[in-house]
Amino acid sequence: MRKPNLASLAHANAKNAKAAKVLVPAKNLATLEAELAEIDDSLVENLEDTVLRLSDYLAAVDMVIKQTFDHRVWVKAEIRNLSSKGGHYYFELAEKDDDGKVVASCRGNLWRFKATRVLAKFERATGMALDRDLTVLLKVSAGFHAQYGFSLTIEDIDPSYTLGDLARQYAEMVDRLTGEGLIHINQQLPTPFDIEHVIVIAPEKAAGLGDFRADADRLARTGACQFHYYHATFQGNHAPMEIRQAIVSAQKQFYAIYHRLPDLLVIIRGGGAVGDLAYLNDYELAALVAEQPVPVWVGIGHERDKVILDEVAHTSFDTPSKVIAAITAHLTQLIAQVLSYQTQIKQATQRQLKTAEQQTTRQLNRVQSQTIGQLTALQKDSDFAWRSIQLSAQRQTKQAAQHIIEWQAQTKIAAYQQVVIARDNSTDYQRTIMQNVQQQVLQAQRDSQHLRDIILLHQPARVLKQGYAMLTTETGKQILTSSTQLNPDQTIKIILKDGQATACISHIENANTETIPTDDSPN
């Protein structure tokens, strides 16, 4: 192989460039691929037998990219990440398929001398700052650097495309919520009769929250309503997730304390940049709000533009101040109704009391006239009844005395008979118990004599006198009763009736295994 000659390589590329037609932006991918193929064929002939340094090869790649893509095109991409340094903006761009999978990605650079103009134009048109997760239409030119690789240089950004994409996403979100039956589900909940407990989700230390609390604290001091505040950020990519977490946490904590649901859930945000509203257009957040078991009132701090929370909430207000005004109006109307009902009840009670007083006076007069005649008749009947009771009581007293005498005699006779029967039964039971005890004592004596004889027969000394021996370990601490306790070359102790001996095991035989030889036994 020959050493690469960059001068000849550049000359060859220049010659091929003159021979080739001037490239214009391709109308489609197929045309662009065909034009690149013509350049590739000419380069292959010049580079087949050339060994290049990496920097030389990348310089050639840079040359080809500049010659082929030396024009600006509009490219649609999603901003995956965005950072800035020294006035320059650095993008991570990507394209995703319908399943959300990244199918293409590269870096993009918006240099300082164009960044101010481009970003200012974008913010004026859209009302929002350029940020990640936005789909944008960029005017770019391709660039390649031997050290930093391929990247796109951003020349301009079309804000109208981003506005159209946000509107499309908003419409798709509304269609999805409608198709899933969530768009009006919270609006179908009845307005609470009394608003006693209200959960408030709002950015911490926001101006809108301060306006809300100015009136809410006055209501709380009167005891008419209690407000429970939870905070979350309402702008940035993490806003939907933090708001969802605040809603779920607030509901759980409230139920753990009060063992019931709150009367109202309020989501408020004060005035701010119009672009910040886009962060609240999140499907998961909208679905969670729609599925809340209590009415949700929102006051996002805008008058012209809508966010998806306005679509799914029970009631939507322009500002946080209007939300607390509606709560105050509801409680005021409720108090007015209660006072009206109280006046009506008081008037009806007074009428009924007056009517009842008149009826009571008439009935009292009628009762008094009737009572005088009835008392006279009752006095006569009472005297006659008293005499009759006295005579009847005397007869019943005499009869009761006779019955008592007869019952006493019968009771004495029955008691004597039962005493005799009990005495006979006691004598028989005592005799039976004595017989059983005597039999058990005799049996216990026989059993104890039998056990004593068995114990005497099995005494070790008696067994040894009959010609038996007892085996123990060498130390005498364990009695050996089975061949499984023996090992070849083991030393054991043999105890006889008149002495003891020490022996060494040479081999072992048992009924279940073969003979276990020792190391010294013949094979």
- In whole angstroms, what is the distance from residue 264 CA to residue 313 CA? 11
Q: Where in the chain is the domain with CATH 3.40.50.2300?
A: 172-334
- The answer to whether the beta carbons of residues 146 and 55 sit under 8 Å apart is yes
Token code pair at residue 175: 């269609």
Cα radius of gyration (the chain): 55
- In whole angstroms, what is the distance from residue 367 CA to residue 139 CA? 106
- The answer to whether the beta carbons of residues 32 and 26 sit under 8 Å apart is yes
Token code pair at residue 385: 């009844």
CB atoms within 10 A of CB 139: 16
- The answer to whether the beta carbons of residues 291 and 156 sit under 8 Å apart is no
Give the amino acid at 6: L
CATH architecture for residues 172-334 = 3-Layer(aba) Sandwich (3.40)
- The answer to whether the beta carbons of residues 312 and 281 sit under 8 Å apart is no
Cα→Cα distances 59→10, 31, 143, 158, 390, Å: 10, 25, 12, 32, 141
Q: Exposed, middle or buried, 104 (CB in 10 Å: 0-12/13-18/19+)? A: exposed
Token code pair at residue 64: 């080809």
Q: Helix axis angle, 207-222 relative to 320-457, nearest 10°? A: 70
Cα→Cα distances 521→481, 488, 516, 517, Å: 25, 10, 10, 6
Q: Where in the chain is the domain with CATH 2.40.50.140?
A: 54-165
Instruction: Please report which helix (H) or strand (E) contains residue 440, including its range.
Output: helix 320-457
Q: What is the 3-state secondary structure (H, E, C) of 163-195?
A: HHHHHHHHHHHHHHHHHCCCCCCCCCCCCCCCC
- In whole angstroms, what is the distance from residue 315 CA to residue 333 CA? 18
pLDDT per position in the chain (523 positions), as tens? 333 333 333 343 444 433 333 334 444 556 666 666 666 666 566 656 667 788 878 887 888 887 777 778 888 888 889 999 989 999 999 988 877 788 899 999 999 988 888 888 888 877 677 888 788 888 888 888 888 888 888 888 888 776 777 777 788 888 888 899 998 999 999 988 888 899 999 988 877 888 888 889 998 898 889 999 999 988 777 889 999 999 999 999 999 999 999 999 999 987 655 556 677 888 999 999 999 999 999 988 765 567 888 889 999 898 888 999 999 888 888 888 888 888 889 888 888 888 888 888 888 888 888 888 788 888 888 888 888 888 888 888 888 888 888 888 888 888 888 888 888 888 888 888 888 888 888 888 888 888 887 877 777 777 777 778 888 888 877 888 888 888 888 888 888 878 888 899 888 887 665 555 545 544 4
Q: Which residues 6+ apart lie within 8 Å of 277 measured at CB? A: 300, 302, 305, 307
Global pTM value: 0.48
CB atoms within 10 A of CB 269: 30
CATH architecture for residues 54-165 = Beta Barrel (2.40)
Bin 84: left if φ > 0, else alpha if -120 < ψ < 50, else beta: beta
Token code pair at residue 459: 């005494």
As a dihedral over the C-alpha atoms of residue 239, residue 242, residue 248, residue 251, rounded to 10 degrees, the angle is: -90
